[in-house]
Amino acid sequence: MARVLIAHNFKDESFASMSHRLAHRLSERHEVVFMSYRPHLSERLELNGARLTVYSWRTRARPTGVRDAWHFLRIYLRHRPEIVIAHFVGANLSILVSKLLSGFRVRTYEWYHTQSSMIEFDHGRIHW
C-alpha cells in the first residue's frame, strides 16, 4: 500500500474532477492525502474509512507563503507520502518540500494545463 499526496482542487466538476476522482479511486487501495486549494475547508475531511484525508492549505490565497509551507511540512511529516501528484500553484510548495524532506526519494508528478496559444504568445511567436 502506497501513501499518495495530491495537491489540486477537491471538486467533482470542471478539470478538477480528474484529481477528485483519482483520489477516490486510489483510496480504494492506498492511503491518500489531498491538499485542496478549492474548496477551502475549515477542518480536515476523512473519507473512505479514513483512507482519504482532505486538508486545505492554511491560507485562502494561492499557497505560496511561509504559513502554507509550514502547514504542508506538518502534513507531510504526519503522512510521509511516497508519491506526490501536484497541479499548478499547489505543485510549487508540495514538490519542493517533499523532495527536500525525503532526500529526493519521493516520486513526484506535476502538471499544468495551459492553452497552447498562451505558450506561443509568451514565446513571442504570435501577437494579438
pLDDT by residue for the chain (128 residues), tens only, comes to 899 999 998 988 876 788 999 999 999 999 999 999 999 999 999 999 999 999 999 988 888 899 999 999 999 999 999 999 998 777 888 999 999 999 999 999 987 766 666 667 667 777 66
pTM: 0.85
Strand partners, 32: 4, 52
Sheet order of strands, 83-87 included: 45-47, 52-56, 31-36, 3-8, 83-87, 107-111
Per-residue CA distances from 58 to 15, 32, 38, 66 (Å): 23, 19, 12, 10
8 - beta bridge partners?
36
| Spatial distance between the Cα atoms of 92 and 20, rounded to a whole number of angstroms | 19
Q: How many CB atoms lie under 10 A from the CB of residue 13? A: 8
